[in-house]
A and B are shown apart, each in its own frame.
Chain A
């Protein structure tokens, strides 16, 4: 208990928590926004190289993060994005976007084209079709993608360690500071670790309620 108190009332815990929340939430929102638009484009409009893009996005996701840590640090330094939350957010968006696109692509394909045509006849312009018909129907996909993205952004360590400083540190990096030259502060480390695990759990629980399969059931003759 004492360890929890020490961790929570440590002057910088609050800041790290806010950092982590900002990074996790903003990265998730941007990823979803870009992901659903890209997935829709891939699924509905034919253009040269569409198949290639669809597959390479998935391949990209198999690259381990540690591999890109060094090059990313160099580029981010050039762009003066190191030690800022924005740099971390951009990175997490880039890392999560391929999987999100691929996931949502599958969900968009499940939406019968006739629904969009019916909406066009009913008076929806393309943007409205996307907002009023497609988005509500791929909500389970959005929720699933949000869970993945948020958890990666929240838990990721190596890139966060490389790209943050004292003021922009996220919680996993902060936890690692309890591993010091003169020994590991196991009590505090464990306390912080369990605190870190909590938000993703809550978030997953909330988002998972949106993942109700069969949302398109009833659109067409089943």
Chain B
């Protein structure tokens, strides 16, 4: 089957700096791919190379099986939604949406039909005659999407399209985007640094760090089987606890500071004595006031969030920071020392040197 978008060993350098380092990636036709990573890791640069706004230093970009590496942006069969929307301020909403079609001399009634249809899908029919400056942020966002839809491209490119909206509107637009994708079924490459957007929208997530792909996988895969420390720390909220230790008897990790031993869900063969990073999701640290508690935590701050309480503090007799996320209301634990047991399903072990996950 022909991929919707394919990157083959794509490298981008600005002068001496390698910003994107030999990335290969293939999005199936109709797939929703989300690129995530910290600020400056090269997400936008990758998207702009797909769009043709940035040249490719090395490698190839294919869209629907066609090599477009040297093709002009307008002939790549893509549409892009910018973070700041980039609406043409001197044109009405309708003119903004139909600009590309008028440039290709599409017949008037065809333009009208497509703009009308996109406006109906997005619920902006009554805004068509307005100028962008007379629109709210959410409405501008919709117009920007409308401008992309009207072109009926094979590939949609989004660069942090929701990051300028307030939290409530962002959640609403996220749902609308998901519905829109379902409806149009077009290949989509979506850049964000919001992991909630990544988890909820993506068929597959691509996690980037310093211009290199750390892992590609479904939301469940990258959450449950993070390939390395970076992915484990990036996906999941609150952030996974990372504790230094070493393996004893293949199936335990001992924490040198506290002497605590944590049983692993699966043994790491032949690794006894190996220095590791023990990763435990905050949800895997469970309140246990009994004598069999594995870890003890000095709680500093308890944040009550409605359905859960996030405890921030350190391991008792140590200064290693830990976070626990407990169901329900536990605001009273602030300042106390508590016992914790560990849910093995939330435990990961990473090689202290390479950062690779040793058990998943």
Residues of chain A at the chain B interface (Cβ within 8 Å): 112, 114-115, 117-124, 128, 133, 136-137, 214-222
Taking the nearest CB of chain A, how far is it from the CB of B326, in angstroms? 38
Which of B79, B99, B164 has the largest number of chain A CB atoms within 10 A? B99
Contacts A122-B103, A219-B87 known; list 6 others, CB within 8 Å.
Answer: A118-B86, A118-B147, A121-B52, A218-B87, A218-B89, A222-B133
- Contact yes or no, B89 A216, CB < 8 A: yes
Contact of A221 among B89, B99, B164 (CB under 8 A): B164
Contact of B74 among A120, A215, A220 (CB under 8 A): A120
Docked complex Cα distance between A216 and B90 (Å): 7
Taking the nearest CB of chain A, how far is it from the CB of B70, in angstroms? 15
List B contacts of A118 (CB < 8 A). Answer: 80, 82, 86, 88, 147
- Contact yes or no, A221 B140, CB < 8 A: yes
Instruction: Determine if B263 is an interface residue (Cβ-Cβ < 8 Å).
Output: no
Taking the nearest CB of chain A, how far is it from the CB of B227, in angstroms? 34
- Please give me the residue from chain B that is nearest to A121 by CB atom: B73
Instruction: Determine if B134 is an interface residue (Cβ-Cβ < 8 Å).
Output: yes
List B contacts of A219 (CB < 8 A). Answer: 84-89, 132
Indicate with 1 or 0, residue by residue over B81-102, a CB within 8 angstroms of chain A CB atoms.
0101111111000000001100
Contact of A121 among B79, B90, B132, B133 (CB under 8 A): B79
Which of A121, A128, A136, A214 has the largest number of chain B CB atoms within 10 A? A121
For the side of the interface on B, what is the size category? Answer: 20 to 34
Instruction: Determine if B53 is an interface residue (Cβ-Cβ < 8 Å).
Output: yes
- Contact yes or no, B78 A220, CB < 8 A: no
List B contacts of A121 (CB < 8 A). Answer: 51-53, 73-74, 78-80, 100
Instruction: Determine if B104 is an interface residue (Cβ-Cβ < 8 Å).
Output: yes
Taking the nearest CB of chain A, how far is it from the CB of B86, in angstroms? 4
Instruction: Determine if B331 is an interface residue (Cβ-Cβ < 8 Å).
Output: no
- Please give me the residue from chain A that is nearest to B135 by CB atom: A218
Docked complex Cα distance between A214 and B89 (Å): 10
Contact of B85 among A123, A124, A220 (CB under 8 A): A220
Knowing A218-B135, A221-B137 are in contact, say whether A122-B89 is a contact too (CB < 8 A).
no
Taking the nearest CB of chain A, how far is it from the CB of B127, in angstroms? 12
- Contact yes or no, B73 A120, CB < 8 A: yes
Instruction: Determine if B210 is an interface residue (Cβ-Cβ < 8 Å).
Output: no
- Contact yes or no, A123 B78, CB < 8 A: no
Indicate with 1 or 0, residue by residue over B111-150, a CB within 8 angstroms of chain A CB atoms.
0000000000000000000011111010010000001000
Taking the nearest CB of chain B, how far is it from the CB of A126, in angstroms? 11
Cβ < 8 Å to A, chain B residues 301-344:
none
Docked complex Cα distance between A105 and B241 (Å): 52
List B contacts of A128 (CB < 8 A). Answer: 103
- Contact yes or no, A218 B140, CB < 8 A: yes
Taking the nearest CB of chain B, how far is it from the CB of A41, in angstroms? 20
Docked complex Cα distance between A120 and B131 (Å): 21
- Contact yes or no, B133 A217, CB < 8 A: yes
- Please give me the residue from chain B that is nearest to A216 by CB atom: B89
- Contact yes or no, B84 A114, CB < 8 A: yes
Docked complex Cα distance between A217 and B103 (Å): 24
List B contacts of A117 (CB < 8 A). Answer: 51, 53, 73, 80, 82, 86
Cβ < 8 Å to A, chain B residues 153-188:
164
List B contacts of A133 (CB < 8 A). Answer: 88
Docked complex Cα distance between A71 and B204 (Å): 72
> 16 A-B pairs, CB-CB below 8 angstroms?
A112-B86, A115-B89, A117-B86, A118-B86, A118-B88, A121-B73, A137-B90, A218-B132, A218-B133, A218-B134, A218-B135, A218-B140, A219-B84, A219-B86, A219-B132, A221-B164
Q: Sorted from nearest, which 4 A-B pairs have the closest CB atoms?
A: A218-B133, A218-B132, A220-B84, A114-B86
Docked complex Cα distance between A222 and B89 (Å): 12
- Please give me the residue from chain A that is nearest to B81 by CB atom: A118
Taking the nearest CB of chain A, how far is it from the CB of B160, in angstroms? 11
Indicate with 1 or 0, residue by residue over B46-80, a CB within 8 angstroms of chain A CB atoms.
00000111000000000000000000111000111
Docked complex Cα distance between A118 and B78 (Å): 11
Contact of A123 among B51, B74, B132, B134 (CB under 8 A): B74
List A contacts of B134 (CB < 8 A). Answer: 218
List B contacts of A218 (CB < 8 A). Answer: 87, 89, 131-135, 140
Taking the nearest CB of chain A, how far is it from the CB of B60, in angstroms? 20
Which of A118, A119, A123, A221 has the largest number of chain B CB atoms within 10 A? A118
List A contacts of B78 (CB < 8 A). Answer: 121
- Contact yes or no, A221 B74, CB < 8 A: no
- Contact yes or no, A120 B53, CB < 8 A: yes
Which of A128, A216, A218, A222 has the largest number of chain B CB atoms within 10 A? A218
Knowing A121-B73, A122-B100, A221-B164 are in contact, say whether A115-B133 is a contact too (CB < 8 A).
no
